[in-house]
Amino acid sequence: MTSRFRRKLGERRYKRMFIIVAEGTVTEQEYFSLLNEESIVRVKCLSNSRNLSPLAAMKRVCDYVKREGLRRSDQAWVVVDKDLWLEEHLSQLHAWSQTQVNYGFALSNPKFEFWLLLHFEDGKGVASGDDCDRRIVKHLPRYDKHIHPNEFTPERIRSATERARTRDTPRCSDWPRNAGTTVYKLVEKILQASAQHPGL
């Protein structure tokens, strides 16, 4: 899928890689593919045949980095939901993300759909995954876990980062304990990398 964040043709740029392992099997992979700009930034979301636990997601990205390597300018991220996962496991993920400057950990509480909801509204009053589902179908009546690119425009993606950043005040050091998401930190980094014009 081609990104809508394309820049002018004919300009040479350094191509950066974002390796993402997400807990889910469909939604996250399709969403992050929207941000892929192959001439500037490659966003590679490793596919899953089943939902992963936080520690399984961390192992998956560690195995990839060990096998393929990671350039200093590239980044590796784990994206999970809060759900009912133990704080002990999330703490291990956060600790892993602190071991390298190009590692990252993003969590949505209660789940990834909260991040999607922020593309359309501020998410106030959401207290559960069911709340997310009820609210998101008001904006996306045909939502079925699949991402339809025309519904997640560049403008809406930027609005979601603004709303998530505003909710994350004061900025949490690890993950949101209440309804919120730190996925915006990853998306901002991808968008910033796409906007850069380094010379080669």
Closest CA to 186 of 81, 70, 64, 35: 35
pLDDT in tens, 88-116: 999 999 999 999 999 999 999 999 999 99
Q: With contact defined as beta carbons under 8 Å apart, do 106 and 77 qualify?
A: yes
Angle between helices 183-195 and 154-167 (to 10 degrees): 130
Predicted confidence at residue 14, as pLDDT, reads 55
Residue 12: its pLDDT value, please?
41
pLDDT one digit per residue (tens) for the chain, 200 residues: 444 544 444 444 458 999 999 999 999 999 999 998 867 899 999 999 999 999 999 999 999 999 999 999 999 999 999 988 999 999 999 999 999 999 999 999 999 999 999 999 999 999 999 999 999 999 999 999 999 999 999 999 999 999 999 999 999 999 999 999 999 999 999 999 988 744 32
Instruction: Write the pLDDT tens digit of every residue in 171-197.
Output: 999 999 999 999 999 999 999 998 874
> What is the pTM assigned to this prediction?
0.89
Give the pair of three-digit tokens for residue 137. Answer: 């179908």
- CB atoms closer than 10 angstroms to residue 60: 17
Q: Is 157 helix (H, G, I), strand (E, B) or coil?
A: helix
Read off the amino acid at residue 197: H
Dist CA 111 CA 199 (whole Å): 39
